[in-house]
Amino acid sequence: MIPEIKLSFKYSFLKRASLVRFTTFLAIFTTAFAVAVMILAMALSRGFSHQIQKAILENEPHVKIFRKDGESLDNWQFIKERLEYEEQIVSLEPLFYQGAFVFSDETSSYCVLKVTDSTKDAVIGAELAEKLKIQPNQKLKIFLFLNGQVKSFQMIPSKFIKTGLYDYDASLIQVPVDFLKGYGFKPNVLEVKLRDVFSSDEVASEIRKKLGDDFKVLSWQEANQTLFEALSLERKVAFLTVLLLFFIAGLNVATVLSLLVSERKLDIAVLRTCGAKTKSLLLIFLSEGLILSFLGAVIGLGMSFFLNFLVNYFELLHLPASVYTVSRISLRIEYEDVLLSVGVAVGFAVIASFYPAFTASRLKPAEILRRL
């Protein structure tokens, strides 16, 4: 081991005055706290983003195609034939979406009616069912405006669905095509599923070129761009806020080293007399600052992983779904967040250690020895 680093280890674990011991503990604790808070803050933001993205991809098409004027897709078979040879496209499904009103025995509500040929079951969002105060297999009546006339039909939902997205669960009613047979409705949305969900922007751009200006083509990434930009901004703000904790931890490291320089003046004088160079003294005290920050970072990592396990195992993070869209979040610790947190801790420690180390290297041994 390099002699300077060996000496810095010795200084780090020597018995010291009570004030130095306290400030050392404080420096390690604040570094650990800063590292743990940053990792958990990033984990919370990533978990929230992942949960929303997962719910969106499970319930929304990767690409939507509809007319700009809002009319039905009379030629949807022709559109399907033109697009089904696209390499990324797995399936294309014609659907009918329409705002409607649903009435139960006790109350009523606005809903979004989804008519599909891919299922034979009539289902309703769990939050909407709760709002309507109904039980499974209870009859509902739905009114909608179709082809210039008010149409109505009755349905008995076979189950309540919980998608994880509050807006869906609080408004969606899905019925098979048979429920509107003879009403003369036509699909107004063509939903596209892709092999690679993250290629949706590129695929949507290609579809626009093929279909022309009469159609609106919307990818899931574009539809939710504002939401994900807001989450990204929130992550950046959280990072900048937690930097204040690292600044405080850095000040504590600087305080510890300043006290140590004052306490070890005689040792410094002896080292100088024995021929120790300026860079050697700098390295000794910079190494001690790194040792303190590394100990704090290791403790902080342990704290963050332990709390991450507790929160996820016992499902402690619950949010009001009506405000945050999703009701439960799992923390997601990513290795880049761990590296960033440790890197920031070490960086602040190096900056904080430089002045005390420089002060130690400038001490004159003759003056110190004369005062003895």
Q: Say if 208 falls within a structural domain.
A: no
Here the CATH number for the domain that contains residue 85 is: 2.40.70
Domain-terminating residue out of 167, 187, 207? 187
Q: Are residues 285 and 337 in the same domain?
A: yes
Q: Are residues 231 and 322 in the same domain?
A: yes
Q: Are residues 38 and 103 in the same domain?
A: no
Q: Are residues 113 and 178 in the same domain?
A: yes
Domain-terminating residue out of 159, 187, 215? 187
Residue span of the structural domain in which 348 resides: 3-56+226-366
What mean pLDDT comes out for the span 177-199? 89
What mean pLDDT comes out for the span 140-166? 90
Overall pTM > 0.75: yes
Average pLDDT of the chain? 89
More confident residue, 303 or 163: 303
Q: Say if 33 falls within a structural domain.
A: yes
More confident residue, 274 or 45: 45
Are 84 and 92 in contact, with CB atoms under 8 Å apart? Answer: yes
Q: Say if 65 falls within a structural domain.
A: no
Q: Are residues 232 and 361 in the same domain?
A: yes
Q: Are residues 33 and 116 in the same domain?
A: no
Report the sign of the C-alpha dihedral through residues 64, 70, 75, 77, in that order. Answer: positive
- Find all residues with CB under 8 Å of 103, minimum gap 6, and list them: 140, 141, 142, 143
Q: Say if 163 falls within a structural domain.
A: yes
Q: Are residues 183 and 244 in the same domain?
A: no
Q: Are residues 79 and 20 in the same domain?
A: no
Q: Are residues 231 and 362 in the same domain?
A: yes
Q: Say if 198 falls within a structural domain.
A: no
Q: Say if 40 falls within a structural domain.
A: yes
Q: Are residues 323 and 245 in the same domain?
A: yes
Res. 16 pLDDT band, cuts 50 70 90? low
What pLDDT is attached to residue 61? 93
What pLDDT is attached to residue 9? 63
Q: Are residues 155 and 263 in the same domain?
A: no
Taking only the tens place, the pLDDT of each residue in 235-278 is: 999 999 999 999 999 999 999 888 888 887 877 777 777 877 88
Residue 364 has pLDDT above 80, yes or no: no
What pLDDT is attached to residue 369? 66
What mean pLDDT comes out for the span 350-355? 91
How many domains does the chain divide into? 2
Q: Say if 275 falls within a structural domain.
A: yes
Residue 3 has pLDDT above 70, yes or no: no
What pLDDT is attached to residue 146? 85
Q: How far is CA 92 from the centre of its chain?
A: 31
What pLDDT is attached to residue 278? 80
Residue 157 has pLDDT above 60, yes or no: yes
Percent of the chain with pLDDT over 90: 58
Domain-terminating residue out of 158, 187, 216? 187
Q: Are residues 240 and 360 in the same domain?
A: yes
What pLDDT is attached to residue 245? 94
Q: Say if 102 falls within a structural domain.
A: yes
Taking only the tens place, the pLDDT of each residue in 111-143 is: 999 999 888 889 999 999 999 999 888 999 999
